[in-house]
Structure formats: C-alpha cells, structure tokens
Amino acid sequence: MNRQRRLPLQLATAFCCLLAVKSLAQAPPELAVAPGGVARWSGEGIERCGMEGSEWPPLAGSCWYAIDLLRKPGALSVSRWRAGQRERAVLRVAAYPYAEQHIRLKDDSTVNLSPENLARAGRERKKIGALWWLRGAARFTPPLSPPLSHLPAGGRFGSRRIFNGQPRSPHSGADYAAQSGTPVLAVADAKVVMAEDLFFSGNSVFLDHGAGLISMYFHLSSIAVEPGAVVKRGQTIGKVGATGRATGPHLHFGLRWRGARIDPALLLGEPGEVPEIR
C-alpha cells in the first residue's frame, strides 16, 4: 500500500523542478541603487506607483522612486499598478559610497554655534522641514533644465563633511563654481515656497515643482523672487554669491523628491540614463 501511494522518483523530481521554475518566474525584478539615487520603472498603462505605504501618479509614463541619501542598505519593495493589478519589484540599496570632505572655515561661529544661532537654526530647520510634505500636480517632466546657463562640473553630492575637524551632515546637494552675480535659473515651472536669508545656507530659494519635488538654491548674493510667486523654467530667481556657511562664491543646488535627498545630476541628465527596473 505504501509503495502505491508514493510518487515514482523521476516524477517527484520533475514536480520539484517545476515548482522551482514557477517560483523563479514569479520572483519580482530587482535593481541595485545607491543612497541618494533614483530608479525608474516604465511600462504601458501604468495607473499609479507606490513605495512604503505612499502612492502617486506616474510621471511621463514611468514610476520614479527616490532613495534618500541616508537610507540604510537593504531591500526596498516598490510597486506599480496596471489594469488594476499590483506589480512588485525590489530595489537593493547599496552601502554608503561617498567619501569624506574636510573643510576649513575661518569663521568658527558657523561650526560651534552660539545659543542664539543654535535656536535660529532649529527654527529654520522646522520651517524648511514642512516643505518636504508638499504634494500637488506635477509642473515638470524630466530632464530638468540647468540652474546656471553654463553649468560647470560640480558635485560632491553625498560627501561626509568635516568642518574644522568636526563631522556634520552629509552634503545633500551639488556645488557649482561660478562668479558672484551669475544669474541662477529655475530648473522647471514652480511656485516659490520660501525665499529668505537662512543661517547655514544664506540667501536661499525653495521652489515647489509639484509631485513632491522641491528644488533649492543656496548662498545667493541676492534673491529676485518672493514667496507665492509662480516662476517659469529658465527664469532668473537670484544671483550666485557666498552668503551663509560658504568658503567662496558658488551655487549649492539641491533636490528633495517626496522628502528624499537625491543627487541632482540624476534629474538634470536624460531620463534614459536613470537606472531602470526591467
């Protein structure tokens, strides 16, 4: 009786192999991405995109996933919906890849803050933090236009900064060397949500481009727009300077997408150059 109830060895082996092949076919696609990176998932008929409990509409026919600069290494599940069906993929966040940068400032007051400046920086941080939650209809499609008419090589995005021998937050934007007074341009249509002098970043402009994308322009010598104004792609919003905690004239350009600090170069380049889930 027992022998009759057992599957032949060959049949059992084939059945196991079939299950393994089926399991492999159903495994979600994976893509490696660096902290501060962006991944794209294209396809016909995408209805919405999702990650970690948040959902949003596709942009230019693709789902875009922004990975925060300080995201810990590991697997991150993302989704898209087509024809009412949810499809899943996995982003493998790599270890932090960015080098240290040592900076020496003559004015130590921007490193070792007085109680008054510490309180001011705290108030400003709270005010700025509210911007990361803004959501609205997209006013842009990638790629963004450059924030300077002649964009030099720039970067040091993600570098772990050491000011006067003391570790501070990583560099969450890209620095572009330019002469003081050089016009700074809006990278896409937007609403001005903040334009003022801040302790660390000096004269600063924050633009809301919708879809959770905020662009930032720091250390300006002057500001040419006011909060609430609507600006167009390529419009002058200020001029390059060295205000705030800066060692010389340059533009600090940063992006936050749905709250995530990302490398601006990824949206300044062609969409096809952004890593894609397949």
The pLDDT value recorded for residue 18 is 42
86, 119: one domain: no
CA distance 198 to 205: 10
145, 241: one domain: yes
The pLDDT value recorded for residue 208 is 98
Kind of pairing, strands 250-257 and 260-262?
antiparallel
Q: Which residues of the chain have pLDDT under 50?
A: 1-9, 11-12, 14-24
Instruction: For the beta carbon of residue 4, count every other beta carbon within 10 angstroms.
Output: 5
59, 155: one domain: no
Q: Which domain holds residue 53?
A: 2-93
User: Where do the DSSP E strands lie in 170-235?
Assistant: 173-177, 183-185, 190-198, 202-208, 213-223, 230-231
The pLDDT value recorded for residue 166 is 67
CA distance 225 to 27: 50
106, 11: one domain: no
User: Which residue in this structure is represented by tokens 């380049």?
Assistant: 269
Kind of pairing, strands 166-167 and 160-163?
antiparallel
The pLDDT value recorded for residue 61 is 94
The pLDDT value recorded for residue 167 is 65
The pLDDT value recorded for residue 113 is 79
Domain boundary among 66, 93, 120: 93
262, 140: one domain: yes
CATH, residue 19: 2.60.40
Domain-embedded: residue 244: yes
53, 180: one domain: no
